[in-house]
């Protein structure tokens, strides 16, 4: 099987390449932009058969110059929710994806692509239905625009097209993402650099650290993508989260107590971590007012309906595994 992974040196892409390798698939064409050369580290021990810069891949693929490709995992995108250049965002996240979709359909190639829970924006219901899709930024709109194109064509598509609305993904190989890296990643670094982790104080009707997200471990994201690879009859747009919202306090608790356990120290309840100055609440930033999702929780009805019954990792288990990985202590 020949597979393409766009955004292969990125966070989810790098994990997907390794997941494919574990299935015995190493004819993997990696596509990315290594202007940030340090991202090469995410591919050092990954099995790939070729590499193309994104600037040359799309034209070569559309022209059939790469031979028959069985499936494309399209993870490449601008994922910076604070990017306000709409022209750039739509070129990266919509036009590029549309061009790829057309080429896949023409060549008999299956397309599995990354959408985002940002498509829901200000909604309080997270189901793959138009009435609940209210993006708060141009990033969310760019993802929704492509999802809507897929909706119009998917019934008559000659082969599988599946989009995944990722919720708050965390896990190994996200270090290059800077401010867009997960809360768990930032907590690990804050604790090591400053001796404490920081959370938002009261905002949006939620108490300190009580804003809640659907945090999903990257291994689970990979597992669901690979389930669809093995089930080509499954098509559509699907939420990819755990189905359970958890407060940011839970992430802090797991981050700090796992770090403590690695030092031989006993875990503490949240109140004692706060009292000891290990968890700190800071004022909500003005720049995010009105643009921030205080609550997300994936409705998994559609995912379960096609037969994907994957069991998702909760925050306590997932963050603990991740902190151990970041610490070099394995899983």
Residues annotated catalytic, as ranges? 139, 177
Instruction: Compute CA 115 distance to the chain's CA centroid, rounded to the nearest angstrom.
Output: 9
Can you tell me the distance from the alpha carbon of 217 to that of 318, in angstroms, rounded to the nearest whole number?
Answer: 6
CB of 170 closer than 8 Å to CB of 321: no
Can you tell me the distance from the alpha carbon of 216 to that of 303, in angstroms, rounded to the nearest whole number?
Answer: 15
Give the alpha-carbon dihedral of 184, 187, 192, 196, to 10 degrees: -150
β-strand partners of 298: none
Q: Is the dihedral of CA 255, 81, 18, 39 positive or negative?
A: negative
Q: Which residue from 224, 110, 118, 236 is spatially nearest to 168, judged by alpha carbons? A: 118
Q: Would strands 246-247 and 212-213 be described as parallel, antiparallel, or unpaired? A: antiparallel
In terms of residues, how long is the chain? Answer: 331
CB of 111 closer than 8 Å to CB of 104: yes
For residue 34, the tally of other CB atoms under 10 A from its CB is: 13
- For residue 156, the SS3 value is helix
Q: What would the two tokens of residue 243 be?
A: 């189905």
Q: Tally the C-alpha atoms within 13 A of residue 229's C-alpha that lie toward its C-beta.
A: 23
Q: Burial code of 272-298, b = ≥16 C-beta within 10 A, e = fewer?
A: ebbeeebbbbeebeeeeeeebbbbbbb
Q: Which residue matches tokens 């896949």?
A: 104
């Amino acid at each position: 099987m020949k597979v393409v992974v766009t955004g292969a040196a990125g966070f989810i892409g790098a994990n997907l390449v390794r997941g494919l390798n574990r299935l015995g698939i190493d004819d993997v064409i990696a596509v990315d932009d290594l202007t940030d050369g340090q991202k090469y580290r995410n591919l050092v021990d990954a099995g790939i058969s070729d590499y193309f810069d994104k600037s040359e891949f799309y034209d070569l693929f559309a022209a059939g110059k790469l031979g028959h490709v069985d499936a494309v995992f399209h993870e490449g995108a601008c994922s910076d929710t604070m990017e306000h250049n709409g022209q750039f965002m739509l070129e990266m996240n919509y036009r590029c994806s549309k061009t790829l979709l057309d080429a896949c359909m023409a060549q008999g190639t299956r397309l599995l692509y990354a959408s985002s829970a940002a498509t829901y924006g200000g909604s309080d219901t997270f189901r793959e239905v138009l009435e609940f899709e209210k993006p708060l930024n141009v990033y969310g709109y760019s993802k929704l625009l492509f999802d809507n194109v897929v909706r119009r064509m998917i019934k008559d598509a000659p082969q599988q097209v599946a989009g995944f609305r990722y919720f708050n993904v965390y896990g190994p190989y996200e270090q290059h993402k800077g401010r867009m890296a997960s809360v768990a990643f930032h907590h690990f670094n804050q604790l090591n650099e400053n001796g404490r982790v920081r959370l938002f104080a009261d905002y949006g009707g939620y108490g300190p650290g009580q804003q809640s997200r659907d945090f999903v471990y990257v291994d689970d994201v990979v597992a669901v993508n690979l389930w669809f690879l093995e089930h080509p009859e499954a098509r559509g747009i699907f939420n990819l989260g755990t189905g359970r919202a958890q407060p940011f306090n839970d992430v802090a608790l797991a981050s700090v107590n796992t770090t403590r356990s690695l030092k031989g120290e006993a875990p503490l309840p949240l109140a004692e971590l706060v009292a000891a100055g290990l968890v700190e609440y800071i004022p909500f930033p003005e720049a995010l007012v009105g643009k921030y999702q205080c609550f997300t929780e994936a409705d998994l009805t559609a995912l379960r309906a096609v037969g994907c019954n994957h069991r998702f990792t909760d925050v306590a288990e997932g963050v603990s595994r991740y902190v151990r990985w970041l610490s070099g202590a394995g899983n």
